[in-house]
């Protein structure tokens, strides 16, 4: 007798879908936002160097990680349509979600061996950690219209982000204790390395184990996926064909097309801020001692995560009262103000205030963007292709955003100047969101 899957809209299925945020958000917090940026900067300071010979030239640490991030998202933007096409035609998108979940988790564990002496190995693990996180996350996003009815999608999307923030903060607190009091955990320095850095390496391992372990609940309950009817030829390229069909369909879906353009622009800035915020704080803020820097950066990340829970919940309620587009417009205006403020941030207290402001709008804009897109979709069971289009737009935006940020930082010698560019993207996002509300011609 075949497996009986939980029915669409059921609490069990909605909770299982949202629980993947609990499983994988530890990557975005501990690796992408908190511990790894601090660890990365500390490696350079301990070695007494600001640039490293890599890729045939000397590149400063901040632009280097920004360029690798751009390359990772370019790779993600290319392979997502390929996987979407195969998943649509074979009906097995959960298989791909598992693969990239495990790839990301194992890459996090591989970061334990990151060093300037083995820079390529470390960058490869960082690269595939990003790939594993974002591709599995994209596939999970594509399940949203499959598992929830339209009236449930704002709430369950916000629930997912909130669960992700809570779970990731719990693990970060454990990692913080390991870094601040490594002796309590029996952690000692290795080969002349400070015990704090060794503790950071162990935190990368903990992320990989957490991610793989807790994802099993989601995998147990999610359906395999819908098998698309029709021909099975040229399966590998069908994803790009599906993107072309989605693009053609957008010609008649004016509101959806306008929204996607707005999303492309402001998401470019949002994701860039999330990816570089800690690198900015690590390099541009006057912390004093290395210990104060580590403690201060982690506290600021905790502030962001805790306020993001409140922000995601408040945004979901605001969207119910005022509408999704109006709410997104106000949030983008708030982001403009944050970018202007960030240019003048110098002291730790300045950075804490900026972190609090970012936290209030970071979770809300992500959750509401995801559910707004889902609501605007035309009636279809081909959700993987539409969400593939959404994710490709997002990833290309991140490629552009992180590359421009790295280029501006490299050529001007300051990461501050790049914050103004991000503010302009948010301002353009406000204008484009206003177009979404206009009636179609």
How far apart CA 97 and CA 24 sit, in angstroms, is: 12
Strand partners, 58: 53
How far apart CA 342 and CA 354 sit, in angstroms, is: 7
Residue 210 lies in a domain: yes
Q: How many domains does the chain have?
A: 1
Length of the chain: 441
Of 284, 208, 244, 241, which is closest to residue 30 (Cα–Cα)?
Answer: 208
**SS3 of residue 117 by DSSP:** coil
For the chain, the helix, strand and coil percentages under 3-state DSSP, each to the nearest 5: 80, 0, 15
Structural element, H or E, at residue 136: helix 119-142
Residue 292 lies in a domain: yes
How far apart CA 125 and CA 53 sit, in angstroms, is: 18
Residue 3 lies in a domain: no
Please give the pLDDT value at position 206: 96
Residue 105 lies in a domain: yes
The residue range of the domain holding 272 is: 12-227+235-436
Please give the pLDDT value at position 40: 87
Residue 123 lies in a domain: yes
Residue 146 lies in a domain: yes
Residue 2 lies in a domain: no
Of 135, 121, 311, 145, which is closest to residue 226 (Cα–Cα)?
Answer: 145
Please give the pLDDT value at position 2: 46
Please give the pLDDT value at position 238: 61
Residue 1 lies in a domain: no
Please give the pLDDT value at position 88: 60
- Inter-residue contact 339 to 189 (CB < 8 Å): no
Which residue, chain included where needed, has tokens 């790839």?
103
Q: What is the mean pLDDT of each run of 10 residues along the chain (441 residues)?
A: 59 83 88 85 79 72 81 86 68 84 95 87 93 88 75 75 82 88 84 84 95 91 65 58 71 79 88 81 80 82 80 83 89 92 89 89 80 77 68 82 78 77 89 76 45
Q: What is the CATH number of the domain that holds 263?
A: 1.20.1250.20
- Inter-residue contact 54 to 264 (CB < 8 Å): no
The single-letter DSSP state of residue 227 is: P
Please give the pLDDT value at position 235: 56
Please give the pLDDT value at position 297: 84
Q: Please write the tens of the pLDDT for every residue from 220-254.
A: 888 776 555 555 555 556 666 667 777 777 667 77
Q: Helix 93-110 and helix 61-90: axis angle, to 10°?
A: 160
How far apart CA 241 and CA 163 sit, in angstroms, is: 35
Please give the pLDDT value at position 223: 76
Longest dimension (CA), the chain: 68
Please give the pLDDT value at position 203: 94
- Inter-residue contact 366 to 266 (CB < 8 Å): no
Q: Please write the tens of the pLDDT for every residue from 91-100.
A: 677 888 899 9
């Amino acid at each position: 007798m075949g497996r009986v899957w939980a029915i669409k809209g059921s609490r069990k299925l909605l909770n299982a879908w949202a629980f993947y945020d609990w499983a994988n958000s530890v990557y975005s917090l501990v690796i992408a936002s908190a511990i790894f940026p601090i660890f990365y900067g500390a490696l350079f300071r301990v070695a007494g160097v600001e640039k490293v010979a890599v890729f045939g030239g000397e590149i400063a640490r901040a632009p280097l990680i920004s360029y690798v991030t751009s390359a990772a998202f370019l790779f993600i933007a290319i392979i997502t349509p390929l996987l979407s096409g195969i998943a649509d035609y074979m009906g097995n998108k959960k298989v791909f979600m598992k693969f990239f979940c495990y790839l990301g988790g194992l890459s996090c564990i591989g970061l334990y061996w990151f060093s300037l002496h083995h820079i390529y190995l470390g960058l490869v693990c960082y690269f595939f950690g990003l790939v594993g996180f974002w591709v599995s996350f994209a596939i999970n996003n594509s399940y949203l219209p499959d598992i929830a009815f339209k009236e449930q999608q704002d709430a369950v999307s916000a629930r997912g982000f909130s669960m992700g923030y809570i779970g990731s903060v719990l693990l970060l607190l454990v990692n913080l204790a390991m870094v601040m009091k490594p002796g309590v955990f029996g952690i000692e320095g290795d080969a002349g390395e400070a015990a704090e850095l060794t503790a950071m390496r162990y935190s990368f391992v903990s992320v990989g184990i957490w991610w793989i372990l807790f994802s099993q609940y989601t995998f147990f309950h999610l359906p395999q996926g819908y098998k698309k009817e029709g021909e099975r030829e040229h399966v590998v390229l069908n994803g790009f064909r599906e993107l072309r069909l989605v693009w053609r369909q957008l010609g008649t879906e004016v509101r959806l097309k306008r929204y996607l353009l707005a999303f492309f622009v402001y998401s470019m800035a949002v994701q860039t801020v999330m990816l570089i915020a800690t690198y900015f704080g690590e390099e541009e803020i006057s912390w004093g001692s290395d210990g104060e820097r580590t403690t201060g950066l982690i506290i600021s990340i905790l502030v962001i995560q805790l306020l993001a829970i409140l922000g995601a919940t408040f945004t979901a309620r605001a969207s119910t009262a005022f509408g999704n587009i109006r709410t997104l417009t106000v949030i983008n205006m708030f982001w403009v103000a944050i970018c202007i403020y960030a240019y003048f941030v110098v002291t730790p207290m300045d950075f804490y205030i900026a972190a609090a402001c970012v936290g209030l709008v970071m979770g809300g804009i992500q959750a509401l963007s995801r559910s707004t897109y889902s609501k605007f979709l035309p009636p279809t069971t081909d959700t993987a292709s539409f969400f593939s289009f959404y994710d490709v737009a997002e990833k290309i935006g991140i490629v552009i955003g992180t590359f421009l940020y790295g280029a501006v930082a490299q050529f001007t010698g300051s990461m501050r100047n790049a914050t103004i560019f991000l503010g302009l993207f948010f301002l353009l996002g406000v204008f484009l969101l206003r177009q979404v509300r206009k009636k179609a011609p």
